[in-house]
A and B are shown apart, each in its own frame.
Chain A
């Protein structure tokens, strides 16, 4: 789960990191009055779950409250990488002496939270890593001990020469680790961490992704979810405990298991079609889940055909077949459904489905070819 900059800044502030004040506006009027409250020059920043906000025109400097209002009017409602801006953060502009990058993420290779810091801040760290990796200092943290004070200092030492600034930065790096762990994050980033003329360090941008598996034990973090930042179908899927990702094609896919679901989408493409979604229905044959899945898939107007691909292992195919029949009895579906089941109890399942008037297959390739043909009919 991604959270907005202003929310990440709240987490950072709570951990003690120096973060300039800021308030969120949903209307140009609010932006103007917040800017007036701060006085002086402010920055108006689009709050969307996407990088490249500056390039898209979503971050603007405003010298007066009136200018803040004008910028907010332009930014609110703007589309950035397909996401609509519904909020802006208004924050006082800072005098910047230097910009550094400080980030921590769960690294798969070292199997540990891993810091990356660079004196080249304010730019995309992936680019720095690709073009001159020597500008980045890395440290894998032993998660059993956490980030130790000397390690934080070693990281800060690569960023600053002034000992006082280095110590302030080391403290902020330690606090970032705290915020990362206490939020159940998979990534937390300050880009840039700035220094000011009087030697203070401040986090003027903040980014954080939360590990979905942490949400059950962190209700205060879970409450930060912004459902307006995702398609309604994905919100509904999450509430039904279904794993769903909306795509742009016309073949609606309903599969048990994530790997098989991806392989099914790939096969749709192989035969010349386009998948409308990823959907893992899980091991359950519960009709309620099948109903929810069908409602979600059919709410997408691009869907021309629904493809079920079920491998019965522990799951019994006849249970799933009954679930599909029951589900289609309860909701009215206007597009054709093609079904493939194989594995445990497939003969009974095919009988159940054919009795209910469905075309059922046992080969994955045959059913996908059929679905692609129907999607073009």
Chain B
């Protein structure tokens, strides 16, 4: 098993003909993701050539793509100005999961898109996220496939490369993953830590969870309380940004300490108070997970 995506995921790529969209579509197809359609307005009727000679139909609209192919998941590589509308279009077309990779979407656009998706019961992952990978089954997004391997650990993180770092070190010592989820670095995200923890708890194959947080907001604190009250599986945590100054955006739009709220210290304390083993350095995640699985 895995969470969010697996062998039954039928993916449509929004923005399939763009530079990033086409590159990552080929990467996903090479990994074995079932890419069933692409959407680029104005290019309907053309086909997208995959890496091994197979090809995927391109449609003008999400409505056609979903109706014609039975897609149940979409991934968005659309530029920021049009990305929120692409999310709305996907939710309207009836997919279950929308993975929004795009960075730089105006936050008020996302407030509208999240409200719309919530009303329709559609899960949005991101935006400004690397996506999700269930090793050996499916990959949706931009995560590098060569660093993962199948195994018992669920990974959830607000960051991209820091996640890769942690996952790479796990894989290096032979500890595989059920699913790795990047929830995104924006202030308003569709799927948060609690959503992922609940899914990992319900997933029979997941034996332990790595949760990688960072400064800004209170998502980690709420996740820590949730771990205490709802999780039977061990959780290992890491929080980035102990040296970040208040009031400054550290790359991610959501990584900012506002006033005195959202500091790394506060989040680490919440982790420790709720039974989460906290890694002091990224490299310590491996040892703590080995202890948790032992």
Interface residues of A (CB under 8 A from B): 106, 108-109, 111-113, 126, 142-144, 181, 184, 186, 211-214, 216-217, 243, 245, 247, 255-263, 265-270, 275, 278, 280, 311-314, 342-344, 363-365
Bound CA–CA A364/B104 (angstroms): 29
Chain A residue nearest to B157 (CB atoms) is A259
Q: Which 10 A-B pairs have the closest CB atoms?
A: A259-B159, A258-B251, A257-B161, A259-B162, A313-B144, A262-B240, A260-B161, A143-B111, A243-B251, A280-B251
Q: Which residues of B contact A243 (CB under 8 A)?
A: 250-251
**Contacting pair A259 B168 (CB below 8 A):** no
The chain A residue with its CB closest to the CB of B187 is: A108
Known: A143-B108, A184-B106, A257-B159. A266 touches B241 (CB 8 A): yes
A144-B112, A364-B282 as given contacts; A259 in contact with B80, CB under 8 Å: no
Partner of B243, one of A217, A275, A364: A275
In the complex, what residue of chain B is closest to A50 when comparing beta carbons?
B247
Q: Is the CB of A259 within 8 A of B240?
A: yes
Contact in complex: A311, B165 (CB < 8 Å): yes
8 Å CB interface, B225-261 against A: 238, 240-245, 248-255, 259-260
Contact pick for B162, options A108, A217, A263, A363, CB 8 Å: A263
Instruction: Check A267/B281 contact, CB under 8 A, given A213-B107, A311-B165.
Output: yes
**A263 cross-chain contacts in B, Cβ below 8 A:** 162, 165, 238, 240, 282
Q: A181 to B114, Cβ gap below 8 A?
A: no
Q: How many angstroms between the C-alpha atoms of A230 and B214 in the bound complex?
A: 24
**In the complex, chain A residues whose CB is within 8 Å of the CB of B107:** 106, 186, 211, 213-214
Q: Residues of A contacting B142 with CB < 8 Å?
A: 313-314
**Please, how many angstroms separate the alpha-carbon atoms of A278 and B215 in the complex?**
14
- Quick check: is B105 within 8 A (CB to CB) of the other chain? yes
Q: Does B91 contact A (CB under 8 A)?
A: no
Main secondary structure of the interface of A (DSSP, over half): mixed
Residue among B80, B108, B219, B283 making CB contact with A106, cutoff 8 Å: B108
A258 touches B164 (CB 8 A): no
Partner of A259, one of B27, B106, B108, B252: B252
Q: Report the nearest B residue to A127, measured CB to CB.
A: B259
On chain A, the residues within 8 Å of B81 by CB distance are: 216-217
| Chain A positions within 8 Å of B185 at CB level | 258-259
Are the CB atoms of B112 and A143 closer together than 8 Å? yes
Which A residues are CB-close (under 8 A) to B111? 106, 111-113, 143
Residues from chain B with a CB closer than 8 A to the CB of A181 are 108
Note all chain A residues with C-beta closer than 8 A to B144: 312-314, 343-344
Q: Which of B123-172 contact A (CB under 8 A)?
A: 142-144, 146-147, 157-165, 168
CA distance A313 to B115 in the complex (A): 33
Main secondary structure of the interface of B (DSSP, over half): loop
Bound CA span A261–B249, Å: 13
Interface residues, chain B, with chain A CB atoms under 8 Å away: 27, 80-81, 104-108, 111-112, 114-116, 142-144, 146-147, 157-165, 168, 185, 187-188, 212, 214-215, 217-219, 238, 240-245, 248-255, 259-260, 264, 280-283
CA distance A39 to B27 in the complex (A): 70
Can you list 22 residue pairs at the A/B interface with Cβ under 8 Å? Answer: A111-B188, A112-B115, A143-B115, A186-B187, A212-B253, A213-B104, A243-B250, A243-B251, A247-B243, A257-B162, A257-B251, A258-B159, A259-B158, A259-B162, A261-B250, A265-B243, A266-B240, A266-B241, A266-B242, A269-B242, A280-B251, A343-B168
Q: Given the interface contacts A143-B115, A247-B243, A260-B161, does A213 sit within 8 Å of B250 by beta carbon?
A: no
In the complex, are the beta carbons of B253 and A262 less than 8 A apart? Answer: no
Q: Distance (Å) between the CB of A301 and the closest chain B CB? A: 19
Report yes or no: B115 in contact with A364, Cβ–Cβ below 8 A: no
Smallest Cβ distance from B275 to chain A, in angstroms? 23
**Complex-state Cα separation, A213 to B116, whole angstroms:** 21
- Beyond A108-B187, A144-B112, A258-B255, 12 additional contacts (C-beta under 8 Å) are A108-B188, A111-B111, A216-B80, A258-B159, A259-B161, A259-B212, A262-B243, A262-B244, A266-B264, A269-B243, A311-B165, A313-B160
The answer to whether A108 touches B248, judged by C-beta atoms less than 8 angstroms apart, is no
User: How distant is the Cα of A258 from the Cα of B111 in the complex, in angstroms?
Assistant: 23
Determine if B161 and A256 form an interchain contact, defined as CB atoms under 8 angstroms apart: yes
